Chain A
Amino acid sequence: MVYVSSEPGSPVPDLQVTAVKMLVAGGFGVGKTTLVGSVSEIPPLRTEELLTELSRDVDSLAGVEAKTTTTVALDFGRITISPQLVLYLFGTPGQDRFWFMWNELSAGALGAVVLADTRRLDTCFPAVDFFERRGIPFVIGVNCFDGSQQYDIDEVREALDVEGVPVVLCDARLRESCKQVLIALTEHVIKLAVRRQQSSASS
């Protein structure tokens, strides 16, 4: 994202920083935070959101009295690509009851990595559904825990019914491996963007 000053007239510090965001989704315990930690320049940070705040549209203090302090935690990492460009990686909450967070998380996201564990492939179905419906570009990262690789890439693609979506084998604990997943995602995003430009130019 390119950032523009909120107030053109105000004394804005001399910088033009761009930040982009990628999501790392998948079932509970599939290795999302591990992946974030493998590529982040800082140990993953944790932010939290109040459960009741976003689960409904709060527009007055009415309702506050019923609020609890239940929170949902989000882990994220940061990669400073250049002084002008920062990449943030957000892990999505794995538990179903935190789905309400996904809208805010995905707003403005460049794309997503859906981490899959072939021992329980079904846990990533909801994430695949979500990104497909929203038209958010995504790739599948098959996290190969030791000896857990039971299926090949084509079998995973077929099982997930995701034609045209890159499927990459990875080990979320290894930086090089995670880099390849993020590169595959960004290349996929570029491919889709170019295709969109071409189709709008020809129509």
Chain B
Amino acid sequence: MSRGETWFDEAAGPLVRPYAVTRGRTRGGQADLQMITLVIALQRLTSALSAQLDPEHAQIMSFCQHPKSVAEISAEVHLPLSVVKILIGDLIERRLVTFRSAVTPDLQVLQAVINGIRQL
């Protein structure tokens, strides 16, 4: 696309590259996903399952066999946070992954953080 030839119509959504993998959707499901929300796969990524998924969904499933934060998933699949949240939302809806929402750490957790840093 050359300069001055910008696409400004409604149909331009999917042409915005980062959103192409979400088919133009800029919002996902109901899940409140934050950067350090941990995502865990509920199933192993078999080849049968992989065949049913888009490559990006399969990549996330494969990466989340152990708990991974939304930020780590974004870094792994090289997609912006807002895009990756939509894709994770798809997997949550299909009950292929689950997530753990955050609440404020208590004193016990804070003490564990200090002890852990000391031992680094």
Given B7, B100, B110, which contacts A6 in the complex, CB threshold below 8 Å? B100
B71→A45 contact, CB < 8 A: yes
Does B42 reach chain A (CB closer than 8 Å)?
yes
Query: Are A39 and B103 in contact (CB-based, < 8 A)?
Result: no
Q: How far is the CB of B113 from chain A (nearest CB, A)?
A: 5
Please report which residues of chain A, range 15-70, place their CB below 8 angstroms from some CB of chain B when the two chains form the complex: 15, 17-21, 39, 45-50, 53-54, 58-62, 64-67, 69
Of A113-121, A122-130, A163-171, A186-194, the stretch lying at the interface with chain B is A186-194
Q: Does A61 contact B10, Cβ atoms closer than 8 Å?
A: yes
What 1/0 flags go to A1-24 for Cβ under 8 Å of B? 111111100111101011111000
Residues of chain B within 8 A of A46, CB atoms compared:
75
Contact A12 B98 (CB under 8 A): yes
**A187 close to B114 (CB less than 8 A):** yes
Min CB distance A183 to B, Å, is 5
Nearest A residue to B41 via CB reads: A13
**CB of A146 within 8 A of chain B?**
no
Contacts A45-B72, A58-B26, A64-B16: A4 and B100 contacting too (C-beta < 8 A)? yes
Task: Let me know if B92 is at the binding interface, CB within 8 A.
Answer: yes
Contacts of B19 in A (CB 8 A): 64, 67
CA distance A82 to B109 in the complex (A): 11
Q: Is the CB of B7 within 8 A of A65?
A: yes
A residues contacting B by CB (< 8 A) are 1-7, 10-13, 15, 17-21, 39, 45-50, 53-54, 58-62, 64-67, 69, 71, 74, 76, 78-79, 81-82, 85-88, 90, 104-105, 107-108, 110, 175, 179, 182-183, 186-187, 189-190, 193-194
Q: A21-B35, A65-B8 are in contact. List 15 more A-B contacts (CB 8 A).
A: A2-B103, A3-B102, A4-B103, A13-B67, A17-B38, A47-B81, A48-B80, A50-B80, A53-B80, A59-B27, A61-B10, A79-B116, A86-B38, A182-B117, A186-B110
Residues of B within 8 A of A (CB): 7-10, 12-13, 16-19, 24, 26-27, 31, 34-36, 38, 40, 42, 67, 69, 71-72, 74-75, 80-83, 92, 95, 98-107, 109-118, 120
